[in-house]
Amino acid sequence: MKGRKVSGIARDTLDFILEASRSSMPHEFAGLLQAGKGVITEVLILPGTESSRMSALVRLYMLPNVHVVGSIHSHPSSHLRYSKEDLIFFTRTGDYHIIAGPPFDRTSWVCYDAMGARRDLPVLDVKFKDDGFDDLEFDDVDFDDKEAGP
Ligand code: ZN
């Protein structure tokens, strides 16, 4: 699960995350990110608190074919810095960790690596076919840094 190369996140997936974070307010939204063909396209939703997140992880890793490349969680405050608990979670769940904060638009999130360093996560325009991400079709892959986090 570690070291899996990810070229970006699908724009629809990012929009889903931001919408879910917004509608979870004032509570946290948390999930694990899965990638197909190197693009993050799936979100496994987890309970929102730090302790419930950890116990959900234990259960998830007993499932076959769950390839987690990272995580997403929201901070109901606009503070986008990870906590000590977040960092412990990051080191166990891949190498791409999004924290989103209000107003949950396309600029109000950041991505960290497993060690807590900021990293770029390009937002990609991909088309989803009916069969899911095995047939992911690259429509217009633009590495649009303008819409990446600050
Ligand atoms: Zn946090």
pLDDT in tens, 39-84: 999 999 998 888 888 888 888 877 777 789 999 999 999 799 999 9
Cβ atoms within 10 Å, residue 84: 9
Q: Is residue 106 part of a domain?
A: yes
According to DSSP, the residues that pair with 126 across neighbouring strands are 138
Per-residue model confidence as pLDDT tens digits over 28-39: 999 999 998 899
How many domains does the chain contain in total? 1
CA of 94 to the centre of ligand 1 (A): 16
Q: Is residue 23 part of a domain?
A: yes
What number of CA atoms fall less than 13 Å from residue 143's CA on the CB side?
5
CA of 75 to the centre of ligand 1 (A): 6
Whether the full predicted model's pTM is greater than 0.75, yes or no, is yes
Q: What is the CATH number of the domain that holds 68?
A: 3.40.140.10
Protein residues within 5 Å, CB atom, of ion ligand 1: 83, 86
Q: Is residue 135 part of a domain?
A: no
Q: Report the C-alpha gap between 55 and 46 in whole angstroms.
A: 10
Instruction: Give the pLDDT score at 4.
Output: 58
pLDDT band at 138 (very low <50, low <70, confident <90, very high): low
The answer, yes or no, to whether residue 120 has pLDDT greater than 60, is yes
Q: Is residue 145 part of a domain?
A: no
Q: Is residue 69 part of a domain?
A: yes
Question: Which whole-number Å values give the CA distances from 133 to 8, 39, 68, 129, in the listed order?
Answer: 14, 9, 15, 7
